[in-house]
Structure 1
Amino acid sequence: MLVNELQTPALLIEQTALRHNLDTMTAALPGARLRPHVKAHKCTSLARLQYANGHRGFTCATIREVEAMAAAGLGEDLLLANEVLDTRRLGRLVEDGHRVTVAVDSAATIEAAADGGIREVLIDVNVGLPRCGCPPGEAGRLAGLARRAGLVVRGVMGYEGHLMLVQKEEERRERTEHAMTQLLAASADIGGELISAGGTGTCTVNTWANEIQAGSYALMDTAYQELGQPFKLALSVLGRVISVASDWAVVDVGLKALSLDHGLPRIDGTEVWFCSDEHTTFRTEGMPRRSVGDLVRVQPAHVDPTVALHDTIYLVDGPKVLEQWPVDMRGWR
């Protein structure tokens, strides 16, 4: 199949850029130094490539992702880096021989882990992002509760998500050090081998955590590209021009095909004006003329929620479609 034969909108991954990204990250964070976050791509076919590069532990955001990874034979060491209050489905995976660790930050989530059959946890510590995580000073107490409940405490995790898009690298490094100082203090209180943190935005500056939970690096998006990270844009949404006016054109890729939470998408060589449900309008004044039917590759500003809107990923090499991958970790059931 050729790219121009695809029904649009269609989610594309450029093979050369993907391979560059995977190999670049593996060289920087080999083996267990990287725990790839599958929420970024929700695709076990892509996870297998990460596994083949030597990364045997993975980070997940949902129970569905954990189950799909286990079913794909990638359940050697799965971390659900999220608090859940019903872990029975995860407990059944543990019974079947998969290693599943869950993040906990309260007595209630510890109780839920123990009741559902989970055997191992990480204490989730708030290192500055006002989301999940206990205060650093509470980590030791919660670790004690977990151990009394029969759980193994593997260590700590803390996500410096509020720093991922800080533009200046030196500022990003300094603020990451402050966040990780808190996480290291919690680690000293509770013990365990894991200090898990980080993401694509801080993967080049976070030298304090012993495993990094980066995910977006594999596909990249325009928001992360502005940081000057050593990764290439591999992901785009293919669309067709469906209407042309004197100063603008419209492509059939809109809010139902890409996420705008990090800003407007990019179309090379022009200026995107706005997006609506099924449309993206971009400037043509002073640009090469566009015609109805022209193919356009729209580059999203945020990978993760964009991928979650699609059922299929097409791996491509220029005009050729090489493989068709299901986005088999999307959804909740």
Structure 2
Amino acid sequence: MSALSDDRRLHGHLIGQQGSRRALNTPVLVLDLDVLEANIAAMARKAAAAGARLRPHAKTHKSVDIARRQVAAGAFGLCCAKLGEAEALAAGDIGNLHVTSPVVSPPAIARLVALNGRSPGLSVVADHPDNVAALAAAAQPDAPLTVYVDIDPGIRRTGVAGDEAAVALARQIAEAPSLRFGGVQKYCGREQHIEDYAERRAAILAQTEALKGTLTALAQAGLAPPVVTGGGTGTHEIDLELGVFNELQVGSYVFMDDQYAACQLGAAPGQPYGRSLMVDARVVSANHGPLVTLDAGFKAFSTDADPPQVLAGAPDGARFAFMGDEHGALIAPGVGEALRPGEMVTLAVPHCDPTVNLYESYHVVRGDTLVDIWPVSARGRSR
């Protein structure tokens, strides 16, 4: 862009100034670079040790800058929930992009085929023969489009419903001159957030046994999938242990929002990843003893989860409650005397993916110093 973003205009001069986090206009999306880099490195080591390919999900961060760091740490490529995300990452020279939702409308298929011509390693999922036929008609044999069979894990959102349908769709893809059969995808989204590790492991064991049946049916039909992709932050340790997936689509491990922080991710106690993403807000009114008002409301956080936890800047036990689009309340005995207007409070992110989509930039910090401002490259790219 020729014009500065609003965040660059407001805060660009603060980059590199010691303590500059305290001078940011709020509410602001803050990313701890040290924790982010540690999370990226830890997941890369785990996948490499297990011999699994890592293709993290960009729907979490929508960021070319973060994608580049994941690839530099060993990721094969990135997953994208929507075609628009893939277009944004491709513009940042990120390759081996995999679109994890079906692309079905004629204008979107035209965009997909065009992207396939300029983005090496692009792939997409399909779950219906009509969609495969449309993809085959639009793609070209001299630049075949790689298509994966999407398998329904039982939530009936997307995916083929049974082994017979999986075999038929894989055969249709493999026989189309303009398509290439890439493998299968199974994403068990419902299981990712089961908080108890033993309960989550039992659920994934059942899903994995069903997936093994599908893979056997495909192999018996001469269609053994070269790549079996899926998994997520909540189940990655179990998935690596079971060894059926040879590619992992982990996403939220880079940030560790409230929803994943509530889950025991491994058999051992404790969290292997740190919380890197947060929102800084300020007190704008403090006229009542048990309550102060912050400048962060519905427009600062996703609202599909519990209200954000208070991380810093407030008395112990203070809790946040939404007070409308622009404001939130911080509630605790005596908080109105403890905090004054202008003081900063740091809040956790309840659900990272939709919260990130509310902001134009990450304000990247080391400690209390702003070190960079990264655009949310695929913000709003939901089609």
TM norm. shorter chain > 0.5:
yes
CA separation in 1, counterparts of 2:350 and 2:130? 36
Hey, what's the Cα distance between the residues in 1 that align with 2:59 and 2:307? 21
CA distance in 1, matches of 2:248, 2:323: 34
Code of the residue aligned with 2:155 in structure 1: it is L
**1:64 and 2:88 matched:** no
The aligned counterpart of 2:289 is 246
**Residue 129 of structure 1: how far off its partner (Å):** 2.5
Tell me which moved more, 192-201 or 144-153.
144-153
Does residue 284 of the first structure (1) align with residue 332 of the second (2)? Answer: yes
Give secondary structure in 1 for the equivalent of 2:114: helix
- Give the whole-Å Cα distance in 2 for the aligned partners of 1:131 and 1:223: 21
Larger radius of gyration between Structure 1 and Structure 2 = 2
Q: Is the 8 A contact 2:256 2:273 kept in 1?
A: yes
Distance in 2 between residues matched to 1:162 and 1:182, nearest whole Å: 15
Inter-partner Cα distance in structure 1 for 2:99 and 2:34: 30
SS of 1:38 mapped into structure 2: coil
Structure 2 Cα separation of the partners of residues 200 and 116 of structure 1? 35
> In the alignment, is the contact (CA less than 8 A) between 1:127 and 1:180 conserved in 2?
no
**Match in the other structure for 2:275:** 233
Conservation of the 8 A alpha-carbon contact between 2:196 and 2:264: no
> Could you tell me how far 1:44 is from its partner in structure 2?
0.3
Alignment match, 1:127:
153
Amino acid at match of 1:185: G
Structure 2 counterparts to residues 136-215 of structure 1, below 5 A: 136-137=162-163, 138-150=165-177, 151-188=179-216, 189=218, 190-206=223-239, 207=242, 208-215=244-251
Uncovered stretches (5+) of structure 2, i.e. residues with no partner? 1-13, 15-19, 266-271
Structure 1: unaligned runs, 5 residues or longer: none
For residues 212 and 296 of structure 2, the distance between their equivalents in structure 1, rounded to whole angstroms, comes to 44
- Structure 1 residues 1-333: aligned runs within 5 Å: 1=14, 2-30=20-48, 33-75=53-95, 77-85=96-104, 86-96=108-118, 98-117=120-139, 119-137=145-163, 138-150=165-177, 151-188=179-216, 189=218, 190-206=223-239, 207=242, 208-229=244-265, 230-244=272-286, 245-268=288-311, 269=316, 270-286=318-334, 289-332=338-381
Tell me by how many angstroms 1:112 deviates.
Answer: 2.9
Task: Give the SS at the match of 1:131.
Answer: coil
Q: Is residue 290–residue 333 contact of structure 2 (8 Å, CA) maintained in 1?
A: yes
- SS of 2:157's partner is coil
Aligned partner of residue 159 in structure 2, secondary structure = coil
How far off is 1:187 after superposition?
Answer: 2.4
Taking the aligned partners of 1:116 and 1:6, their CA distance within structure 2 comes to 48
Q: 2 CA distance for matches of 1:34 and 1:90?
A: 23
Amino acid at match of 1:163: E
CA deviation profile, 1:290-320 (whole Å, cap 9, x unmatched): 1110111111110000001110101101211
39-48 vs 203-212, which moves further: 203-212
Q: CA deviation at 1:275?
A: 4.7
* Cα 1:115–1:237 shift into 2, 3 Å: farther
Q: TM-score, normalised by structure 1?
A: 0.95
Aligned amino acid, residue 162 of structure 1: R
- Closer, same or farther in 2 for the Cα pair 1:43/1:97, shift >3 Å? closer
User: What is the aligned-residue identity percentage?
Assistant: 32
* Distance change in 2, residues 1:160/1:243 (3 Å): same
Distance in 1 separating the partners of 2:115 and 2:175: 23
Task: Identify which range, 186-195 or 292-301, moves more after superposition.
Answer: 186-195
Distance 2:214 2:323 in 1: 44
Across the aligned residues of Structure 1 and Structure 2, the Cα RMSD in angstroms comes to: 1.7
Any idea what the Cα deviations from partners look like across 1:257-298, whole Å, max 9, x if unmatched? 110212211113321233521112121315571111011111
Q: CA deviation at 1:228?
A: 3.0
2:334 & 2:24 partners in 1: Cα distance?
29
Say whether the 8 Å CA contact 1:136–1:185 is kept in structure 2. Answer: no
SS in 2 for 1:223: helix
Q: Report the AA paired with residue 278 of structure 1.
A: E
Once the two structures are superposed, what CA deviation does each residue of 1:38-92 show, in whole Å capped at 9, x if it has no partner?
01000100111101101122100111111122111111x1110001113211211
C-alpha deviation, 1:28, in angstroms: 1.0
**Cα distance in 2, alignment partners of residues 205 and 32 from structure 1:** 13
